[in-house]
């Protein structure tokens, strides 16, 4: 037996009332969602090990300890800053957490009035997770959002590897965790102005990003680009004439194992973004995630094979990661052929993106983080408007472009749509979990 009527708490076991039974059902539903959110958050946390292995494997042996140490310490640095103020800035004005008990303690958003509409800029509640935010739902949401933030903060460590002073890295980790990613995440996921472009200006459903192609990956990718430009290339990366020189990583098997860890963690990243184990669409999200990564790896392998006469393990790795990054925004809104198309395009973009960034822009990115996360983060969020299954996004492509431009210009801004105007948008709320209902 897995449970009987005796497990339902009632005043009179012989005569349970309907409200008593319904209270138990509701409690169990929230409990399932809570457990799901926490477990998927744990999976995303484990992605830190994947990033550490990929980045260290792609770097030279003499810098392995430094690269691995950055990937380790970026986790506590980002988390501490997020606990101090990042979470409050991101989610302080979220509103009701529908899937996690409906508590409305996150009810303070700083707004300005423009063109007759209220525009949310950042939250103002939840600093240090104290006061009324001492709540089980808030703590579950904090854990889940924290590991997402830390993913964004980790991405630039690969692009700036092998030439980054430790003190500068520490300042960067704190700043990203406290301000950069949380503010953009607020605009998209925390009741900010990008998510409200639909209600305020009738632009579809606002900037829509289901699990973070833009909020996490593009923010990290743009920060990686800015950092790599500021630091400059590694000694010996470019000839006097400006031609790039290959600097092979010391341990490709480590990078490949790290990629498997990341692909596994993505099953927490995307399906977990429902914040609801009771939302059966998690099967669609998980399968789409898997298929896009597969398509990205295959296409990247084929392009390099045709171009150079043999496949390249490093590009296979980045092809899979590019497909996973791209599907993160649209994973709940496309069918499986759409997911394969998105992943395939990502495989093309990452190959030519790496060549463009290195050969044309003369930017040294040891692991390809800018092409994987920056370029394909942008492609992923744009693909929501291009390939959404039932074409319910309407004018969302305009909103997606606005979000991409702002993210590129600022390197950190919050957002993700939480609009609920019509019955069709109610479906959006159910699928997006905290993105919509929060």
What pLDDT was estimated at residue 405? Answer: 62
Q: Which two tokens stand for residue 341?
A: 């198309």
DSSP secondary structure code for residue 238 in this structure: B
Q: Which two tokens stand for residue 362?
A: 């003369």
Residue 204: pLDDT band with limits 50, 70, 90: confident
Domain with 120, as residue range(s), is: 17-437
Determine which of 26-40, 231-245, 378-392 has the lowest per-residue pLDDT on average: 378-392
DSSP secondary structure code for residue 83 in this structure: I
What pLDDT was estimated at residue 402? Answer: 59
Residue 406 lies in a domain: yes
Please write the tens of the pLDDT for every residue from 125-177.
999 999 999 999 999 999 999 999 999 999 999 999 999 999 999 999 999 99
Decide if pLDDT at 426 tops 70. no
Please write the tens of the pLDDT for every residue from 396-425.
555 555 566 666 665 544 333 333 322 233
Q: Which two tokens stand for residue 397?
A: 């492509």
Q: How far is CA 399 from CA 69, 92, 109, 200, in A?
A: 38, 23, 21, 12
What pLDDT was estimated at residue 403? Answer: 64
Rounded CA-CA distance 163/144 in Å is: 31
Query: Residues near 88 by Cβ (< 8 Å), separated by ≥ 6?
Result: 123, 124, 125, 126, 127
Cβ atoms of 141 and 91 within 8 Å: the answer is yes
When divided into structural domains, the chain yields a total of 1
Rounded CA-CA distance 128/79 in Å is: 11
Q: Is 409 exposed, middle or buried (0-12, 13-18, 19+ CB in 10 A)?
A: exposed
Residue 66 lies in a domain: yes
We report the CATH number of the domain holding residue 268 as 1.10.3430.10
Rounded CA-CA distance 188/360 in Å is: 32
Please write the tens of the pLDDT for every residue from 83-140.
999 999 999 999 999 999 999 999 999 999 999 999 999 999 999 999 999 999 999 9
Residue 2 lies in a domain: no
The vertex-141 CA angle with 195 and 272, nearest 5°, equals 80
Cβ atoms of 36 and 434 within 8 Å: the answer is no
Token pair 């925004």 is found at 329
**DSSP collapsed to 3 states, 365-400:** CCCCHHHHHHHHHHHHHHHHHHHCCCCCCCCHHHHH
What pLDDT was estimated at residue 12? Answer: 85
Return the closest-CA partner of residue 100 out of 138, 48, 142, 71. Answer: 138
Q: Which two tokens stand for residue 265?
A: 């963690």
What pLDDT was estimated at residue 103? Answer: 94
DSSP secondary structure code for residue 59 in this structure: S
Rounded CA-CA distance 72/422 in Å is: 45
Please write the tens of the pLDDT for every residue from 47-72.
999 999 999 999 999 999 999 999 99
Rounded CA-CA distance 188/209 in Å is: 7
Residue 116 lies in a domain: yes
Return the closest-CA partner of residue 205 out of 347, 391, 9. Answer: 391
What pLDDT was estimated at residue 8? Answer: 80
Cβ atoms of 370 and 221 within 8 Å: the answer is yes
Cβ atoms of 433 and 96 within 8 Å: the answer is no
Q: How many residues does the chain have?
A: 438
Per DSSP, the three-state class of 261 is helix
Return the closest-CA partner of residue 267 out of 221, 328, 196. Answer: 328
Residue 1 lies in a domain: no
Decide if pLDDT at 217 tops 70. yes
Residue 389: pLDDT band with limits 50, 70, 90: low
At residue 360, what are phi and psi to the nearest 5 degrees?
Answer: -100, -50
Return the closest-CA partner of residue 328 out of 218, 421, 221, 209. Answer: 209
Query: Residues near 432 by Cβ (< 8 Å), separated by ≥ 6?
Result: 208, 210, 273, 274, 332, 416, 417, 418
Query: Residues near 15 by Cβ (< 8 Å), separated by ≥ 6?
Result: none
């Amino acid at each position: 037996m897995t449970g009987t009527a005796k497990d339902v708490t009632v005043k009179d076991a012989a005569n349970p009332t309907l409200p008593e039974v319904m209270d138990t059902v509701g409690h169990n539903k929230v409990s399932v969602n809570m457990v799901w959110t926490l477990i998927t958050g744990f999976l995303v946390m484990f992605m830190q090990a994947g990033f550490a292995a990929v980045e260290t494997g792609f770097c030279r042996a003499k810098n392995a300890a430094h690269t691995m140490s950055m990937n380790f310490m970026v986790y506590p640095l980002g988390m501490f800053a997020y606990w101090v103020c990042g979470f409050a800035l991101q989610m302080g004005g979220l509103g009701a957490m529908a899937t996690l008990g409906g508590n409305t303690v996150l009810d303070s958003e700083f707004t300005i009035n423009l063109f007759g509409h209220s525009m949310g800029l950042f939250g103002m509640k939840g600093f240090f997770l104290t006061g009324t935010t001492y709540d089980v739902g808030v703590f579950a949401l904090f854990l889940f959002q924290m590991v997402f933030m830390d993913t964004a903060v980790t991405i630039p460590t690969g692009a700036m590897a092998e030439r980054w002073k430790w003190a500068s890295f520490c300042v960067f980790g704190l700043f990203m965790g406290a301000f950069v990613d949380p503010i953009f995440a607020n605009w998209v996921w925390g009741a900010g102005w990008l998510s409200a472009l639909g209600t305020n200006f009738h632009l579809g459903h606002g900037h829509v990003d289901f699990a973070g192609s833009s909020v996490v990956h593009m923010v990290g990718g743009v920060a990686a680009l800015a950092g790599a430009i500021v630091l400059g290339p590694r000694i010996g990366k470019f000839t006097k004439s400006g031609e790039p020189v290959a600097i092979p990583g010391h341990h490709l098997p480590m990078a490949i194992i790290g990629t498997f860890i990341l692909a596994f963690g993505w099953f927490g990243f995307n399906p977990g973004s429902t914040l609801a184990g009771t939302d059966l669409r998690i099967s669609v999200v998980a399968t789409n995630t898997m298929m896009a990564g597969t398509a990205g790896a295959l296409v990247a392998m084929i392009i390099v094979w045709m171009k150079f006469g043999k496949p390249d393990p490093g590009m296979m790795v980045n092809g899979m990661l590019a497909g996973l990054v791209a599907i993160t925004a649209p994973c709940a809104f496309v069918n499986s052929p759409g997911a394969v198309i998105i992943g395939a395009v990502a495989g093309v973009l990452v190959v030519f993106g790496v060549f463009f960034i290195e050969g044309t822009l003369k930017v040294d990115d040891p692991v390809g983080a800018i092409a994987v996360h920056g370029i394909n983060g942008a492609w992923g969020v744009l693909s929501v408007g291009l390939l959404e299954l039932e074409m319910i996004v309407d004018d969302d492509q305009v909103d997606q472009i606005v979000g991409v431009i702002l993210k590129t210009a600022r390197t950190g801004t919050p957002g993700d749509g939480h609009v609920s105007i019509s019955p069709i948008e109610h479906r959006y709320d159910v699928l997006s979990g905290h993105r919509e209902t929060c």
